[in-house]
Amino acid sequence: MKTIVVTGACGYIGKHVVDALLNRGARVVALDLNEGAKKPGITWVTGNLLDAEFDASVLEEFKPDACLHLAWRNGFNHNAETHMLDLSGHYRFLCKMVGLDIKQIAVMGSMHEVGYWEGPISEETPCNPVSLYGIAKDALRRAFFARVKNEDIIAQWLRGYYIYGDDIASQSIFGKILRADAEGQKTFPFTSGKNKYDFIKVSELGDQIASCLLQDSVQGIINCCSGSPLSLGEAVEGFIAENGLNIKLEYGKFPDRPYDSPGVWGDASKINQIMGA
């Protein structure tokens, strides 16, 4: 079974990916700023991978078969300046992984690389991102594939969509509603709720990402998604009912974001092939 380096292993997505990999018998070398939970099959390495002085050779002793790069700051704040300021650090780290002769490298992407688009997103969909988050992810994807083009490397770009679950710890709309309800708020200011997105539970996303890493026949851009659009209003109303919350949405209090499509979702062809394998 593979030994996989996972960056951002303590993060919102990372914790679920690590569990999914361990459940499948993989060995995990978890890289983060601080150590997380100690479990059989996991070894923790601490360090700031974005630092130019980060010594990637500390990973060599584990003889990793693959690297999954999840680490990213301020993912829920789409116009945080850190997205652009950290970009060279992410690229430098991936170059170090190539230098360690790791034969499979996967990087977490985002549908926000695409920018405004209506309908399903495939790997051929043109990208025109409009947020700093999307711009940085798009630039890293282009640079990553250019860097490994002539290398004997299985390169995977795992494009994420609208993630929920484990919500009390997240900065998503679902986490915000949970906290508002806990504080006794009876209403929650909302958009029109009409936009349709591809929602996926973080635990299911963790399973999909782990499955991508534990196979090597499907490469390139892989949409980690449900493949089915659902309106934001339906998703949140369902979440409120499922969790028995005593809070109502105030539709129209906030405008819809100008860079959000009325309907966008992932083409699930590749992930369905992987999950069905």
d(CA 212, CA 30): 17
Query: What is the Rg, in whole angstroms, of the alpha carbon atoms belonging to the chain?
Result: 19
- The residue annotated as part of the active site, out of 12, 91, 133, 161, is 133
d(CA 104, CA 75): 24
Nearest to 206 by CA among 156, 165, 145: 165
d(CA 8, CA 70): 5
Find residue 200's DSSP bridge partners. 163
Q: Are 112 and 62 in contact (CB under 8 A)?
A: no
12 catalytically annotated: no
Angle at 163 between CA 12 and CA 76, to 5 degrees: 65
d(CA 101, CA 60): 9
Q: Are 231 and 193 in contact (CB under 8 A)?
A: yes
- Three-state DSSP at 222 gives strand
The residue type found at 198 is: D
User: Which are the catalytic amino acids?
Assistant: 133
